[in-house]
């Protein structure tokens, strides 16, 4: 079955717009990470956030573990934000990381 769901699958934004990406998971987690895969294929760590809220510049993330979802907020988007955003989780009872299918973001000038 599907372990991690991300939405939306695709997103096109005008530069300067804000967006919210969602990650749903199906059980309790002890690790949740958000990654940005840039157009060159590199996977860049954004947040390690099994619970709570964190902010880093224009990006912030919130994980509500009891309701089994996490949100990634991008404010004042820039063309360099383009790429694919992945959510990855480790379930408390599992022995691997599960990656979502990603949200493909395109920011146009």
Which residues contact other proteins by CB under 8 A?
Answer: 30-31, 33, 35, 41-43, 45, 48, 86, 88, 90, 95-97, 99, 101-102
Closest separation between CB of residue 11 and other proteins, Å?
18
Cβ nearer to other proteins, comparing 14 with 95: 95
In whole angstroms, the minimum distance from the beta carbon of 82 to other proteins comes to 18
Compare residues 13 and 91 and give the one whose CB is closer to other proteins: 91
Smallest distance, Å, CB 45 to other proteins? 6
Please work out, in degrees rounded to the nearest 5, the angle formed at the alpha carbon of residue 6 by the alpha carbons of 51 and 1: 95
Measure the CA–CA gap between 44 and 84, rounded to whole angstroms. 10
What is the spatial distance between Cα 33 and Cα 37, in angstroms, rounded to a whole number?
13
Q: Is 1 helix (H, G, I), strand (E, B) or coil?
A: coil
- Pick from 27, 68, 72, 32: which is nearest to 48 by CA? 32
Residue 18 beta carbon to other proteins: minimum distance, rounded to whole angstroms: 26
- CA–CA separation, 70 and 56 (whole Å): 16
Residue with smaller CB distance to other proteins, 48 or 79: 48
């Amino acid at each position: 079955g599907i372990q991690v769901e991300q939405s939306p699958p695709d997103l096109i934004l005008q530069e300067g717009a804000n967006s919210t990406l969602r990650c749903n998971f199906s059980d309790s987690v002890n690790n949740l990470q958000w990654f940005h895969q840039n157009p060159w294929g590199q996977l860049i760590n954004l947040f390690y956030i099994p619970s709570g809220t964190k902010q880093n510049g224009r990006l912030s993330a919130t994980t509500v573990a009891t309701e089994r979802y996490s949100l990634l907020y991008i404010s004042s988007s820039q063309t360099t934000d383009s790429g694919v955003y992945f959510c990855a989780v480790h379930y408390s009872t599992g022995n691997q990381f599960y990656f979502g299918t990603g949200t493909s973001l395109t920011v146009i000038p």
